[in-house]
Structure 1
């Protein structure tokens, strides 16, 4: 089989990002290889990264949705969110001490996370079907990260780089959709006791369930539908904020309670 120029460029982009992930040294953007807005190419690079991670022993446990804020979409010059893959080694429990050294340029944001009780592979994948597939929701901290130096990213860069994913922390209070309404939640995020971000459910594509519906359709279109048991990070409820060693992050989401984590020196998974 003949290797095309685009396949070679995508392989080089994936190698650049995997090297940054492995060495902890941020790299230059990959848009010089795949263009700034070639969405199919960017997701093919992401798929190469995913294979690289799973070949090294990581397991896929869910998906994350990025760019759910209209303001951020306008800043990036796009009209849609993006998605990335969650791996088992990204997950931390409430109250965890997270080694900040495993991250390059971390930024925290507050989200509603959902866990699915059924597959989302068939049917219209509308909000009603999404709601029926949700087992429960929890408060979550997502730590976004970029392997690209200085967060110098265009849309294709962040898609290729697994939607700028880092790690995540899930709360312990699990509520069904009979017990809370995602669009109605309010959020506060504090770093070292100071309020740094506020928002609500409507900030996430109008409703976090809208975001999951978008993801379900996009994931099916790309050939990897959402599955029962997966964790879905549905997108930020307010602005994200940078982190430094020693920071404590606390997220409060009405109904879902509080989730917290401390970001300590070091690079070993706690």
Structure 2
């Protein structure tokens, strides 16, 4: 059996994935090249990659959660979510088409999104405490785009790849969290005029507030905190649907309004 092609470092992994994104050329899994590449190494590579993004002019505006549904955790054989970074270049303005010509194999999924009014710092954050830091709740659509061939990866792979981050858009309604039952907040996912899936907020760890608490506590392990003004994408409510040029995807929430995106 052939050995690893060369020794890996966090810098090599971060630059490899950023290069794959820039070139729109998928790469093979990191863990398949270097079997010793584990979750701790993946988060180190993720943090380095976001520092490289900031160095080239991007600004951190929040975080995104992955693997917050039980179904996705079972699929990946894990029992905990993952966390990644959002930068200002990932946000799509309302009415902006999804630039599929800049992506590899984009997919769209509905999200419940929090906008923070104050800093949220772990450890020991509960769901109730987390919600005290929320200024508003918004509906959203995330466009994910794995840098791995065939959208196939291990947990360390996808964490190093910043949880398949690509683009996101939030809806026009910003509602205060008081009075919203987020576990019961429903959504319908529509593709080209046909409803293809539905879910409620309970798909996200029973309630998206638990995802927010997880984010604060996970960042605390790395000496970091969620900042006031940041957005937090709490994870896909349904399975992600592929985006092709000409596709139209709409998400309709019970109280958070509707969002429509089109793909170029």
TM over 0.5: yes
Aligned-pair CA distance for 1:10: 2.5
Q: CA deviation at 1:36?
A: 7.2
| Residue equivalent to 2:3 | none
- 1:77-96 matches, within 5 Å, as 77-96=77-96
Distance in 2 (alpha carbons) for counterparts of 1:140 and 1:37: 33
**Counterpart in the other structure of 1:18:** 18
Q: Is the 8 A contact 2:122 2:219 kept in 1?
A: no
Q: Structure 1 residues 201 and 55, CA, compared in 2 at 3 Å: closer, same or farther? A: same
- Say if 2:142 and 2:167, in contact at 8 Å, map to a contact too: yes
Shift of 1:222: 1.5
Are 2:199 and 1:192 equivalent residues in the alignment?
no
Deviation at 1:201, TM superposition (A): 0.7
1:36 & 1:246 partners in 2: Cα distance? Answer: 42
Structure 2: state its 5+ residue gaps. 1-5
CA offset at residue 233 of structure 1?
A: 0.2
In the alignment of these two chains, the number of paired residues is 259
**Would the alpha carbon gap of residues 41 and 192 (structure 1) be closer, same or farther in structure 2, given more than 3 Å must change?**
same
- In the TM superposition, structure 1's runs of 4+ consecutive aligned residues that sit over 4 Å from their partners are none
Partners of 2:39 and 2:86 in 1: CA distance: 20
2:111 matches 1:111:
yes
Match of 2:145 in 1: 145
SS in 2 for 1:196: strand
Shift of 1:37: 6.8
1:232, CA displacement in angstroms?
0.3
The Cα of 1:35 is off from its aligned counterpart by 3.3
2:197 paired with 1:202? no
8 Å contact kept, 1:65–1:83: yes
Contact preservation (8 Å) 2:30, 2:37: no
After TM superposition, the structure 1 = structure 2 runs for residues 51-70 of structure 1, keeping only pairs within 5 Å, are: 51-70=51-70
The answer to whether the Cα contact below 8 Å between 1:247 and 1:262 also exists between their aligned partners in 2 is yes
Q: Report the CA distance between 1:260 and its aligned residue.
A: 1.2
For residue 92 of structure 2, give the secondary structure of its aligned residue in structure 1. Answer: strand
- The 1:196/1:95 distance shift into structure 2, 3 A limit, reads farther
Measured after TM superposition, the shift of residue 42 of structure 1 is 0.6
Distance 2:8 2:107 in 1: 32
Cα distance change of structure 1 residues 123 and 8 upon mapping to structure 2, 3 Å threshold? closer
What RMSD, in angstroms, separates the aligned Cα atoms of the two structures?
A: 1.6
CA separation in 1, counterparts of 2:192 and 2:47?
Answer: 37
**Deviation, structure 1 residue 33:** 4.6
Taking the aligned partners of 1:36 and 1:213, their CA distance within structure 2 comes to 30
Q: Is the 8 A contact 1:37 1:155 kept in 2?
A: no
Contact 1:96 1:260 in 2 (8 A): no
What secondary structure does 1:184 align onto?
A: coil
Cα separation, 2, equivalents of 1:243 and 1:104: 10
Distance apart, 1:248 and its partner CA = 1.1
**1:96 CA drift (Å):** 2.3
Give yes or no for the alignment of 1:245 onto 2:253: no
Distance 1:43 1:229, change over 3 A: same
Q: Tell me the CA shift for residue 94 of structure 1.
A: 3.0
Runs of 5+ consecutive residues of structure 1 not aligned to the other structure: 1-5, 265-270
